[in-house]
Amino acid sequence: MEKEVKFSLVFRDMWQSAGKYQPRVDQLVKIAPAIIRMGCFDRVETNGGGFEQVNLLYGENPNKSVREWTKPFHEAGIQTHMLDRALNGLRMSPVPKDVRKLFYVVKKAQGTDITRIFCGLNDTRNVIPSIQYAKEAGMIAQASLCITHSPIHTVEYYVNLAKTFIEAGADEICLKDMAGIGRPVSLGKIVAGIKALKKDVVIQYHSHAGPGFCMASILEVAKAGCDYIDTAMSPLAWGTGHADIIAVQEMLKDAGFKVKEINMEAYMEARTLIKEMYDDFLGYYIPKLNHINNSLLVKPGLPGGMMGSLMTDLEDNLKSLNKWKVKNNQPELTTDQLLVKLFDEVAYVWPKVGYPCLVTPFSQYVKNLALMNVIQMEKGKERWSMIADNIWDMILGKSGQLPGPVAQELVDMAKAEGREFETNDPQSYYPDKLEDFKKEMQENGWELGEDNEELFELAMHPEQYRAYKSGKAKADFEKDLAERKAKKNQTAPPNPSKGGELPSCITVTVGGVNYEVKIAYGIPSNSPVNGENNNLLPLKGEVGRGSEGTDLLAPLEGKFYLVKDNSETPKKVGDSIQEGDVLGYIEAMKTFNAIRADKAGTITAILVNSGDSVEEDDPIFKIA
């Protein structure tokens, strides 16, 4: 009898691996019938980590999106699955226990069948509670083995890990080859080893195409007994994404496996709709390099799901670094030069921080640490001179046990800064908070939502949810999109010496609303981010410009926040501070970097609002 292999369309990850944003709910509902008519998918990845945060970022309610998006697949008998970051839930940082429990109740009620639970450290203390919470809520608990290639991550290591998850009640196992650097033969041995433990356990394989191993890996795991293969479709297949369903289906059919046929008319319809989404606004956040396979990724092992946002963010990092280089009479770097330096530094940093699997959030932590090292060293500063607190949490074991030892130089740094290594259960550092969030909703007059889904959204993504409710998220997104459209559509400005006239502004239409984008030429590098020449929205609130004192400058580019969560008390004008005190944070590359006082004194002015974008060396506080 032919062995049957079934397919999943990783629709969420297709977009996340390409760029920064996901489609709107109206676009999702429109494409669902075509995906169903393709007839080849038994599963569709509809939501999960990253999906809901980006909905909030452009002002859309993710709960409404998930409910409407999963509904047509249920009616068609297709299972839906989501990505779940275990201790971190749907976000980058750890989640209180009571919020984690509510997470599964809400997602099951909204129509998600399967949760793919993973921890980038493969720490069973983070994964096993999520297996239990998911099963209690009636979901299928799929426990992931985060695949990477190192001296520690052997076939035996992974088979033993799967055994632990199965014994803890996992319904299924996923080989999550998030960077696509798992070696094909080894992956086949892992699948065979798991099937030898429990023949009927369902195994699903997820891989990214970037480094070039994925087709060989898919064939090997299928031969070893894998049940489901994750696939993508054009125009978002390959590159930093995943193998295209057509190629995978044809390869497995030729190898003698039983596979479902593809309705090509429906495929072309879905492909056209994806292209329409791309052209509408999503393409403005998808760098061209993400369409290209790149075997350079074999060395750093960065995951495809992160490469979409990485390449978008790298444009801003490069711009900021080159601005500093111009100011200091140094030659500018190209994107390729910065990328190679980053990849080399990731390969250097990774073993030093204990070989965490490079998947969210640890891929971002290692990449951010490497990028910060590169930027600091390019400026003549020391490696390790800027390490964000959440990166320290990973190094110190607060997020879970690292697979390997931490380098002695980092151990010495931690000791010098009074930091201690942790061995407790990671959840113990993050106490219950649901009642606090419920109180906040009641005080604001916000509805808790069907099945407490709005309460869950605030508790899971506090800053993004507040920005969504205030309208700031939508305004910021539409401003950014308007500027991107203006930049793309702007032709070379006329030359005044030849009688041409430089335009002072252009009008861009986004979502039926006209935005006037002002254009300034020759803006000095120290121009404030919120000056009238380059902001569509007025600065809100008095921030004390012109007060006495010495400027404290932003150490890097990003978004400024006075606090990183509601457990902290924000600093205010008039507060006395000591050298080294944390005054606020800059969120850059999905991590919060502490801004510390460089001297004792009194805050006489806070020069930017919480949530504002700042550039490196922008003044943000005045200290007298």
Q: What is the pTM of this model?
A: 0.78
Q: What is the mean pLDDT of the chain?
A: 87
Q: Specify the higher pLDDT residue, 579 or 512.
A: 579
Residue 331 burial (CB count, 10 A):
8
Confidence of residue 548 (pLDDT cuts 50, 70, 90): confident
- Domains of the chain as residue ranges with CATH: 6-286 (3.20.20.70), 295-429 (no CATH), 550-623 (2.40.50.100)
Residue 138 zone, left/alpha/beta (φ > 0; ψ -120 to 50; rest) = left
Instruction: Give CA–CA dist 373/353, Å, rounded.
Output: 14
Q: What are the beta bridge partners of residue 518?
A: 505
The lowest-confidence range among 139-153, 199-213, 505-519 is 505-519
Q: Do 251 and 218 meet the contact criterion of CB atoms below 8 Å apart? A: yes
The pair of structure tokens assigned to 387 is: 């390490």
Phi-psi region of 136 (alpha: psi -120 to 50; beta: other; left: phi over 0): alpha
Task: With beta carbons less than 8 A apart as the criterion, state whether 320 and 616 touch.
Answer: yes
Flag whether pLDDT at 435 surpasses 50: yes
Residue 75 pLDDT more than 60? Answer: yes
* Residue 70 confidence (pLDDT) above 50: yes
589: pLDDT confidence band, cut at 50, 70 and 90? Answer: low
* Position 555 confidence tier, pLDDT thresholds 50, 70, 90: confident
**Average pLDDT rounded to a whole number, residues 76-89:** 96
Please check whether residue 388 is in contact with residue 592, taking contact to mean a CB–CB distance below 8 angstroms: yes
The helix or strand, by DSSP H or E, that contains position 112, with its residue range, turns out to be none
459 Cβ partners below 8 Å, 6+ apart? 95, 96, 99, 102, 433, 434, 437
Reported as type and span, the H/E element at residue 146 is strand 140-146
Name the residue with tokens 């969210």: 360
Q: Sort residue 452 into left (φ over 0), alpha (ψ -120 to 50) or beta.
A: left
Cβ burial, residue 104 (10 Å; 0-12/13-18/19+) = buried
